[in-house]
Amino acid sequence: MAFAVIVVFMVVEVVGGLISGSLALLADATHMLTDALALGLAASAQFIARRPADSRLHFGYRRAQVLAAFVNGVLLAVLLLWIIFEAVRRFMEPVEVQSGLMLWVAVAGFIANAIAFFILHRPQERDLNMRGALLHVIGDLLGSAAAIIAALVISATGWFAIDPLLSIAVAFLIGVSALRLVRETGHILLEGAPADIDREELKKALIAAAPQIKDVHSIQISQITPEHPRLTLHARITDAQDAASALAAAKAFLEERYDIHYSTVQIEIGEECPDSHAPSESDASFEAHENKTAAGGGFKAHGGAAFAAD
Protein backbone atom coordinates (compact mmCIF):
# COMPACT_ATOMS: atom_id res chain seq x y z
CA MET A 1 0.00 0.00 0.00
CA ALA A 2 2.77 2.44 0.90
CA PHE A 3 4.63 1.48 -2.28
CA ALA A 4 1.62 2.31 -4.47
CA VAL A 5 1.08 5.68 -2.78
CA ILE A 6 4.74 6.66 -3.16
CA VAL A 7 4.95 5.68 -6.85
CA VAL A 8 1.86 7.67 -7.85
CA PHE A 9 2.96 10.87 -6.17
CA MET A 10 6.55 10.43 -7.27
CA VAL A 11 5.35 10.82 -10.87
CA VAL A 12 3.34 13.90 -9.88
CA GLU A 13 6.38 15.52 -8.23
CA VAL A 14 8.70 14.77 -11.15
CA VAL A 15 6.33 16.47 -13.59
CA GLY A 16 5.71 19.36 -11.20
CA GLY A 17 9.40 19.82 -10.47
CA LEU A 18 10.37 19.90 -14.14
CA ILE A 19 7.66 22.41 -15.02
CA SER A 20 8.22 24.68 -12.00
CA GLY A 21 12.02 24.39 -11.98
CA SER A 22 12.07 23.61 -8.24
CA LEU A 23 15.08 21.73 -6.92
CA ALA A 24 13.20 20.98 -3.70
CA LEU A 25 10.49 19.19 -5.69
CA LEU A 26 12.96 17.35 -7.91
CA ALA A 27 15.05 16.36 -4.90
CA ASP A 28 11.93 15.14 -3.13
CA ALA A 29 10.78 13.28 -6.26
CA THR A 30 14.19 11.62 -6.60
CA HIS A 31 13.99 10.70 -2.95
CA MET A 32 10.54 9.22 -3.57
CA LEU A 33 12.04 7.12 -6.37
CA THR A 34 14.53 5.67 -3.91
CA ASP A 35 11.63 5.21 -1.50
CA ALA A 36 9.80 3.14 -4.09
CA LEU A 37 12.92 1.02 -4.57
CA ALA A 38 13.44 0.86 -0.80
CA LEU A 39 9.86 -0.21 -0.12
CA GLY A 40 10.08 -2.81 -2.87
CA LEU A 41 13.32 -4.10 -1.39
CA ALA A 42 11.87 -4.08 2.12
CA ALA A 43 8.76 -5.97 1.05
CA SER A 44 10.87 -8.56 -0.77
CA ALA A 45 13.10 -8.98 2.29
CA GLN A 46 10.06 -9.48 4.54
CA PHE A 47 8.86 -12.21 2.20
CA ILE A 48 12.27 -13.91 1.94
CA ALA A 49 12.73 -13.76 5.73
CA ARG A 50 9.71 -16.05 6.19
CA ARG A 51 11.47 -18.92 4.44
CA PRO A 52 12.50 -21.69 6.84
CA ALA A 53 16.08 -22.74 7.52
CA ASP A 54 17.61 -25.23 5.09
CA SER A 55 20.85 -27.13 4.54
CA ARG A 56 22.60 -24.01 3.25
CA LEU A 57 21.36 -21.39 5.72
CA HIS A 58 21.04 -23.05 9.11
CA PHE A 59 19.64 -19.94 10.80
CA GLY A 60 17.11 -19.28 8.05
CA TYR A 61 16.68 -16.15 5.94
CA ARG A 62 15.77 -13.64 8.64
CA ARG A 63 18.96 -11.66 8.14
CA ALA A 64 17.72 -10.70 4.66
CA GLN A 65 15.84 -7.94 6.50
CA VAL A 66 19.07 -6.58 7.99
CA LEU A 67 20.81 -6.72 4.62
CA ALA A 68 17.92 -4.85 2.97
CA ALA A 69 18.05 -2.19 5.68
CA PHE A 70 21.81 -1.80 5.18
CA VAL A 71 21.37 -1.34 1.42
CA ASN A 72 18.58 1.16 1.99
CA GLY A 73 20.77 3.15 4.36
CA VAL A 74 23.62 3.28 1.84
CA LEU A 75 21.29 4.31 -0.99
CA LEU A 76 19.82 7.04 1.18
CA ALA A 77 23.29 8.38 2.05
CA VAL A 78 24.26 8.51 -1.63
CA LEU A 79 21.03 10.32 -2.50
CA LEU A 80 21.60 12.92 0.19
CA LEU A 81 25.10 13.63 -1.13
CA TRP A 82 23.60 14.28 -4.58
CA ILE A 83 21.03 16.68 -3.13
CA ILE A 84 23.77 18.64 -1.33
CA PHE A 85 25.87 18.79 -4.51
CA GLU A 86 22.92 20.03 -6.57
CA ALA A 87 21.96 22.57 -3.91
CA VAL A 88 25.46 24.06 -3.91
CA ARG A 89 25.28 24.34 -7.68
CA ARG A 90 21.94 26.15 -7.39
CA PHE A 91 23.48 28.61 -4.94
CA MET A 92 26.15 29.45 -7.50
CA GLU A 93 23.70 29.55 -10.42
CA PRO A 94 20.23 30.53 -9.11
CA VAL A 95 17.26 29.13 -11.02
CA GLU A 96 13.84 30.80 -11.15
CA VAL A 97 11.10 28.72 -9.55
CA GLN A 98 7.34 28.77 -10.22
CA SER A 99 6.24 28.98 -6.60
CA GLY A 100 2.51 28.45 -7.23
CA LEU A 101 2.87 25.10 -8.96
CA MET A 102 5.64 24.12 -6.57
CA LEU A 103 3.36 24.74 -3.58
CA TRP A 104 0.46 22.62 -4.81
CA VAL A 105 2.66 19.72 -5.85
CA ALA A 106 4.52 19.87 -2.53
CA VAL A 107 1.21 19.79 -0.61
CA ALA A 108 0.12 16.73 -2.60
CA GLY A 109 3.46 15.07 -1.91
CA PHE A 110 3.19 15.85 1.79
CA ILE A 111 -0.25 14.20 1.94
CA ALA A 112 1.05 11.14 0.10
CA ASN A 113 4.03 10.79 2.39
CA ALA A 114 1.86 11.27 5.47
CA ILE A 115 -0.38 8.41 4.28
CA ALA A 116 2.64 6.16 3.68
CA PHE A 117 4.05 7.11 7.08
CA PHE A 118 0.89 6.10 8.95
CA ILE A 119 0.76 2.84 6.99
CA LEU A 120 4.31 1.92 7.98
CA HIS A 121 4.63 3.48 11.43
CA ARG A 122 4.48 0.97 14.28
CA PRO A 123 5.40 2.04 17.82
CA GLN A 124 8.25 0.06 19.43
CA GLU A 125 9.19 -1.46 16.06
CA ARG A 126 12.62 -3.14 16.25
CA ASP A 127 12.66 -4.56 12.72
CA LEU A 128 15.56 -2.78 11.01
CA ASN A 129 14.08 -3.49 7.60
CA MET A 130 10.88 -1.65 8.48
CA ARG A 131 12.89 1.15 10.08
CA GLY A 132 14.90 1.54 6.89
CA ALA A 133 11.77 1.79 4.77
CA LEU A 134 10.16 4.19 7.24
CA LEU A 135 13.27 6.36 7.25
CA HIS A 136 12.95 6.90 3.52
CA VAL A 137 9.32 7.94 3.95
CA ILE A 138 10.20 10.30 6.81
CA GLY A 139 12.83 11.88 4.58
CA ASP A 140 10.19 12.48 1.92
CA LEU A 141 7.79 13.86 4.49
CA LEU A 142 10.40 16.41 5.60
CA GLY A 143 11.32 17.10 1.99
CA SER A 144 7.73 17.90 1.10
CA ALA A 145 7.42 20.15 4.15
CA ALA A 146 10.61 21.95 3.08
CA ALA A 147 9.23 22.40 -0.43
CA ILE A 148 6.02 23.91 0.97
CA ILE A 149 7.98 26.38 3.10
CA ALA A 150 10.26 27.24 0.18
CA ALA A 151 7.29 27.87 -2.12
CA LEU A 152 5.65 30.20 0.41
CA VAL A 153 8.89 32.13 0.99
CA ILE A 154 9.56 32.49 -2.75
CA SER A 155 5.99 33.62 -3.38
CA ALA A 156 6.21 36.25 -0.61
CA THR A 157 9.79 37.51 -1.04
CA GLY A 158 11.17 36.21 -4.33
CA TRP A 159 14.19 34.75 -2.48
CA PHE A 160 15.02 31.71 -4.61
CA ALA A 161 17.97 30.68 -2.43
CA ILE A 162 15.55 29.30 0.16
CA ASP A 163 14.89 26.31 -2.14
CA PRO A 164 18.43 24.80 -2.10
CA LEU A 165 18.97 26.00 1.47
CA LEU A 166 16.06 23.97 2.82
CA SER A 167 17.10 21.01 0.67
CA ILE A 168 20.49 20.97 2.40
CA ALA A 169 18.83 21.23 5.81
CA VAL A 170 16.62 18.22 5.10
CA ALA A 171 19.61 16.27 3.74
CA PHE A 172 21.53 16.79 6.99
CA LEU A 173 18.54 15.83 9.14
CA ILE A 174 17.98 12.58 7.28
CA GLY A 175 21.70 11.94 6.90
CA VAL A 176 22.13 11.51 10.65
CA SER A 177 19.47 8.79 10.77
CA ALA A 178 20.79 7.15 7.60
CA LEU A 179 24.30 6.86 9.03
CA ARG A 180 22.89 5.48 12.27
CA LEU A 181 20.97 2.83 10.31
CA VAL A 182 24.06 1.86 8.30
CA ARG A 183 26.16 1.65 11.47
CA GLU A 184 23.59 -0.48 13.31
CA THR A 185 22.97 -2.89 10.43
CA GLY A 186 26.70 -3.12 9.68
CA HIS A 187 27.29 -4.01 13.35
CA ILE A 188 24.83 -6.91 13.07
CA LEU A 189 26.27 -8.13 9.75
CA LEU A 190 29.72 -8.16 11.42
CA GLU A 191 28.32 -10.43 14.17
CA GLY A 192 28.31 -7.59 16.70
CA ALA A 193 26.84 -8.11 20.16
CA PRO A 194 23.60 -6.38 21.25
CA ALA A 195 24.32 -3.01 22.84
CA ASP A 196 21.93 -3.69 25.73
CA ILE A 197 23.70 -6.83 27.00
CA ASP A 198 26.80 -6.48 29.18
CA ARG A 199 28.87 -9.66 29.35
CA GLU A 200 30.20 -9.07 32.86
CA GLU A 201 26.74 -8.35 34.20
CA LEU A 202 25.37 -11.46 32.47
CA LYS A 203 28.17 -13.56 33.97
CA LYS A 204 27.55 -12.39 37.53
CA ALA A 205 23.77 -12.71 37.24
CA LEU A 206 23.98 -16.23 35.80
CA ILE A 207 26.26 -17.45 38.61
CA ALA A 208 23.86 -15.93 41.14
CA ALA A 209 20.83 -17.54 39.47
CA ALA A 210 22.40 -21.01 39.15
CA PRO A 211 24.30 -22.06 42.32
CA GLN A 212 25.60 -25.19 40.55
CA ILE A 213 27.65 -22.97 38.21
CA LYS A 214 30.93 -21.80 39.72
CA ASP A 215 32.33 -19.86 36.77
CA VAL A 216 31.22 -18.55 33.39
CA HIS A 217 33.58 -17.60 30.57
CA SER A 218 33.99 -17.52 26.78
CA ILE A 219 30.71 -15.63 26.37
CA GLN A 220 30.01 -14.88 22.72
CA ILE A 221 26.86 -12.96 21.73
CA SER A 222 25.70 -11.98 18.24
CA GLN A 223 22.45 -11.19 16.46
CA ILE A 224 20.66 -12.72 13.52
CA THR A 225 18.33 -9.72 13.76
CA PRO A 226 17.74 -7.40 16.75
CA GLU A 227 14.82 -9.64 17.74
CA HIS A 228 16.87 -12.85 17.49
CA PRO A 229 20.10 -12.76 19.53
CA ARG A 230 22.19 -15.90 19.83
CA LEU A 231 24.75 -16.81 22.49
CA THR A 232 27.42 -19.34 23.33
CA LEU A 233 29.18 -19.67 26.70
CA HIS A 234 31.18 -22.05 28.89
CA ALA A 235 29.86 -22.80 32.39
CA ARG A 236 32.07 -24.61 34.96
CA ILE A 237 30.66 -26.93 37.63
CA THR A 238 32.42 -29.09 40.22
CA ASP A 239 30.12 -32.13 40.32
CA ALA A 240 29.14 -34.03 37.17
CA GLN A 241 25.76 -34.84 38.73
CA ASP A 242 24.87 -31.13 38.54
CA ALA A 243 25.38 -30.94 34.77
CA ALA A 244 21.75 -31.38 33.72
CA SER A 245 20.36 -29.00 36.32
CA ALA A 246 23.07 -26.41 35.62
CA LEU A 247 22.29 -26.53 31.91
CA ALA A 248 18.55 -26.21 32.51
CA ALA A 249 19.08 -23.30 34.91
CA ALA A 250 21.37 -21.49 32.46
CA LYS A 251 18.95 -21.88 29.56
CA ALA A 252 16.00 -20.73 31.65
CA PHE A 253 17.96 -17.72 32.92
CA LEU A 254 18.95 -16.62 29.41
CA GLU A 255 15.36 -16.86 28.18
CA GLU A 256 13.76 -15.10 31.14
CA ARG A 257 16.37 -12.39 31.77
CA TYR A 258 17.61 -11.62 28.25
CA ASP A 259 14.95 -13.13 25.97
CA ILE A 260 17.62 -15.30 24.32
CA HIS A 261 15.87 -18.39 22.99
CA TYR A 262 18.79 -19.79 21.02
CA SER A 263 21.92 -20.53 23.04
CA THR A 264 24.73 -23.07 23.15
CA VAL A 265 25.98 -23.77 26.68
CA GLN A 266 29.12 -25.84 27.17
CA ILE A 267 29.17 -27.41 30.65
CA GLU A 268 32.69 -28.02 31.95
CA ILE A 269 33.56 -30.29 34.87
CA GLY A 270 36.71 -29.49 36.80
CA GLU A 271 39.06 -26.55 36.95
CA GLU A 272 40.46 -26.58 33.44
CA CYS A 273 38.59 -25.49 30.31
CA PRO A 274 38.97 -28.01 27.45
CA ASP A 275 39.72 -25.04 25.22
CA SER A 276 42.47 -23.65 27.46
CA HIS A 277 45.01 -24.26 24.68
CA ALA A 278 43.25 -21.61 22.60
CA PRO A 279 44.64 -18.04 22.35
CA SER A 280 43.67 -15.57 25.06
CA GLU A 281 40.46 -13.56 24.78
CA SER A 282 42.48 -10.45 24.01
CA ASP A 283 43.72 -12.11 20.84
CA ALA A 284 41.51 -11.30 17.85
CA SER A 285 41.89 -14.85 16.53
CA PHE A 286 40.17 -16.10 19.69
CA GLU A 287 36.83 -15.04 18.29
CA ALA A 288 37.11 -17.31 15.26
CA HIS A 289 38.35 -20.20 17.39
CA GLU A 290 35.49 -19.84 19.84
CA ASN A 291 32.92 -19.80 17.06
CA LYS A 292 34.25 -23.21 16.00
CA THR A 293 34.60 -24.83 19.41
CA ALA A 294 31.74 -23.39 21.46
CA ALA A 295 29.08 -23.25 18.76
CA GLY A 296 29.99 -26.62 17.32
CA GLY A 297 29.01 -28.51 20.46
CA GLY A 298 29.89 -32.15 20.96
CA PHE A 299 31.89 -33.95 23.61
CA LYS A 300 35.46 -32.76 24.26
CA ALA A 301 37.82 -35.11 26.10
CA HIS A 302 41.10 -33.20 26.24
CA GLY A 303 42.01 -31.03 29.23
CA GLY A 304 38.92 -31.95 31.26
CA ALA A 305 35.37 -33.21 30.83
CA ALA A 306 32.80 -31.05 29.09
CA PHE A 307 29.69 -31.20 26.98
CA ALA A 308 27.72 -28.63 25.05
CA ALA A 309 24.02 -28.48 24.37
CA ASP A 310 21.76 -26.25 22.31
Sign of CA dihedral 196, 201, 203, 205: negative
- Look at residue 11 and tell me whether its pLDDT is greater than 60: yes
pLDDT, tens digit, 9 for 90 and up, residues 235-285 = 999 889 999 999 999 999 999 999 898 899 999 998 878 776 655 444 444
* Confidence tier at 24 by pLDDT (50, 70, 90): low
Say whether pLDDT at 34 is over 90.
no
- 60 conformational bin, left if phi > 0, alpha if psi -120 to 50, beta if neither: left
Please give the average per-residue pLDDT across 47-69, as a whole number.
85
Q: For residue 185, give the nearest of 226, 138, 135, 221 by alpha carbon.
A: 226
| Lowest-confidence segment of 2-11, 148-157, 217-226 by average pLDDT | 2-11
pLDDT of residue 309: 57
Q: pLDDT at position 23, please?
A: 66
- Whether 112 and 9 have beta carbons less than 8 Å apart is answered as yes
Residue 290 has pLDDT above 50, yes or no: no
215 vs 101, residue with greater confidence: 215
The confidence score (pLDDT) of residue 246 equals 93
Higher pLDDT, 104 or 217: 217
With a cut of 80, say whether residue 192 has pLDDT above it: yes
Sheet containing strand 262-269, edge to edge, reads 215-225, 228-237, 262-269, 305-309
All residues at 6 or more sequence positions from 283 whose CB lies less than 8 Å from its CB, including other chains: none
Closest CA to 270 of 308, 303, 295: 303
Residue 151: predicted pLDDT: 85
Q: Could you give the CA distance from residue 239 to residue 245 in angstroms, rounded to a whole number? A: 11
What's the whole-number mean pLDDT along residues 28-44?
74
Comparison of pLDDT for 134 and 303, the residue scoring more: 134
When the pLDDT of each residue in the chain is averaged and rounded to a whole number, the result is 79
Model confidence, pTM: 0.69
Task: Average the pLDDT over each of 40-44, 271-275, 293-297 and give the range with the smallest value.
Answer: 293-297
Query: What's the pLDDT tens digit per position in 71-90?
Result: 888 888 887 888 888 888 87
**Residues 135-182: tens digit of each pLDDT:** 778 877 887 888 888 888 888 888 888 888 888 887 887 787 788 888
